[in-house]
Structure 1
Amino acid sequence: MFAGAVFACAAGGWSSVRCWSQARHLQDTPSSKIRSAAQGYVELAGLLQSAEQTQFGPLTGQPCLWWRYEIERYRTSGRSRRWQTLESGRSEAWLRLADSTGECLIDPRGAQVYPATRQVWEGTLRHPLRDASYGLLDGLFGARYRYTEERLHEGEYLYAIGEFQTQSPASQSVDGEQARGAVVREWKADFTGLLRRFDANGNGRLDDEEWRLVQLAARLEAEQRHRQAARQPDWHRLAKPGEAQPFVLSSRGKEGAIRHLRRKALLSALVCLGGAWAMAWLLDRFL
């Protein structure tokens, strides 16, 4: 019991300090526009744009851009009654944020996500979208489940803070030999087509002179592809910082994320104080 009180005090204190620190990070970081944002830790805000592949909430089937879910079962054992988590998960699909100056791709892995859409409901099936026959035994024995699903949707306002990087195709170097080799391997995959283009004497194979023409054409093709790629616009990415800075995505806005972190810090402080009180009570009683 004393060890539990020590753990609660230490864990609550650590969590409280961490959450307060993260809230201060958010509060003190100014907002930037995508086109003019500096490389490094930045804050962005804009609208979520449609993704290449539509996501669907695993518990509701609703279309979205990102989701997180949890399935719990109500357990009773003597006087103990509690919800036990059976399943949980979250989407790792990349997001696309747009403001008045450009677009930025967001890798949500490792982010603290605070969606505005959150649904909580109860039922008698472990998976609410499955046919009722799958949950027949659960229904007979009065099983009780609670479902939680959170989602981000297209067109929603999103506040984001994390590590910002810009990739410029024009500045990327290319290994000429490697690029030429890649083109040759691509052409050799269709060897019939390769012969049709370069087998000048029609003997069904490529002699030394014809092979030199293949190598020359492949080098010219690789250089042309590189020039075309260099004309592509820069693209921006936001991801989890390498340091201990917070990575936050919030469709509740900046203030909503700060309020959430402050509430968590307060609750953690109460846990710390409760653990300290329990330690003092146990020491007073047994020493």
Structure 2
Amino acid sequence: MLLDLNIESHERLIGLIICIIGFLVCVFFAFRRFGHYRLIVDTPTALIRSAPQGYVEISGSVIAGEDGQLRSPLSGQPCVWYRIKVDRYERNSNNKGGRWRSVRRETSQAWFQIDDGTGICLVDPEGAMAATQHKKVWFGHTEMPGAALSTSSFQQYSARLVGSFASGRYRYTEELIFEHERLYTLGSFQSVGGGRERLDLKAATTDILRGWKSDQAALIGRFDADKDGKIDQQEWYEARKQALREAKLQQREMDKMPTMHVLGDPKEQGHPFVISTFDEERLLSRFRWQLGGFMACGLLAFWLGLELLLTTPV
């Protein structure tokens, strides 16, 4: 044993439980991160123009969505995506120390676009595991701040010191994706329009007839050929024929729609939805560091648990 522990039986038991839980948590997250790492490595980059339907990797330049750029609620900077967090520092009741408590979290859900030179793809960011190069942390005295600080490491480090040891009561965290940035994505790719969608003509006809039947006066006025105030079997047959023609017209209109590509959350276990302004190699490097951190923590928990197990309680 490397540690000379002097603990009682109940302390040893609690320590063992904590070490076991810590070890299992670290192993779980290490395997999960390794699975994500392998997916990024093994999934080839596809071109939007010829990408297969399903889980794909796409890289390109960011374009704002149809409604234009967003504004970050914290700094007011124009962007296509943001994630913000506001924490308030609350002192303990004994006025010794304290902790940061979250008072606001928000992630934009507006769609934006990505252009890889062969085509344009819409990106639905909901549910994405996002990693951005543009991340700022600063401090202030009100829940909503003024302008954010520069991204330079010295200024951010100074802000942390000032916010932690001076009188700043609020901490602001902001992550942004800007237009024209290079974006790496990994998610579920689907193409719609261009004649890909086929209507169930029988179901569409039934829906049209159901809509007509909800307004009996209009239905009778349109199809009551003998003017007896009701729809007989022959007139209903004509109504069905007209509904079928309208369903086919809907299909022709759908066939005229241009092809549109959409990337979103695959919602499948073990298949993450990733959007990142880091290139693939830097993203993999971050994953390797995170994997190494989980493994190191797991080994530490295992070693401490072994030390406690071999310790004779007093």
TM-score, structure 2 as length reference:
0.72
Shift of 1:147: 0.6
The equivalent of 1:103 in structure 2 is 120
Q: How far did 1:103 drift? A: 2.1
Q: State the partner residue of 1:65.
A: 80
- Aligned sequence identity (%): 33
SS for the counterpart of 2:251 is helix
Structure 2 letter corresponding to 1:30? P
Gaps of 5+ in 2: 1-14, 147-166
Quote the offset at 1:216 in angstroms: 4.7
Q: 1:266 aligns with which of 264, 276, 292?
A: 292
1:279 maps to: 305
Find the aligned partners of 2:102 and 2:198 in 1 and give their Cα distance: 49
Q: Which amino acid aligns with 1:152?
A: I
216-225 or 156-165: bigger deviation: 216-225
| 1:146 and 2:163 are equivalent in the alignment | no
SS for the counterpart of 1:35 is helix
**Which residue, out of 30, 50, 62, partners 1:36?**
50
Against the structure 1 CA distance between its residues 180 and 146, is the aligned structure 2 distance closer, same or farther, given a 3 Å change threshold? same
How many positions carry a matched residue from both structures? 274
Q: Conserved in 1, the CA contact under 8 Å of 2:193 and 2:258?
A: yes
Q: How far does residue 22 in structure 1 lie from its aligned partner after superposition?
A: 1.8
- Which deviates further from its counterpart, 92-101 or 181-190? 181-190
Indicate yes or no: 2:108 matched with 1:91: yes
Indicate conservation of the 8 Å contact 1:73/1:143, yes or no: no
Compared CA separation, residues 84 and 37, structure 1 to 2 (3 A): same
Instruction: Work out the CA distance in 1 between the residues paired with 2:42 and 2:175.
Output: 28
- Aligned amino acid, residue 3 of structure 1: I
Contiguous gaps of at least 5 residues in structure 1: 130-141
Which deviates more from structure 2 when the two are superposed, residues 97-106 or residues 191-200?
A: 191-200
How many Å separate the matches in 2 of 1:217 and 1:154?
48
Distance in 1, Cα, partners of 2:172 & 2:199: 50
Give the 3-state SS of the residue equivalent to 2:286 in structure 1: helix
Is residue 35–residue 270 contact of structure 2 (8 Å, CA) maintained in 1? no
Specify the alignment match of 1:161 in structure 2. Answer: 186
Secondary structure class of the residue paired with 1:158: strand
CA RMSD of aligned residues (A): 3.3
- The correspondence for 1:14, drawn from 22, 28, 51, is 28
What's the TM-score once normalised by structure 1's chain length? 0.78
1:135 maps to what in 2?
A: none
1:162 and 1:246 in contact (8 A); partners too: yes
SS of 1:162's equivalent in the other structure is strand
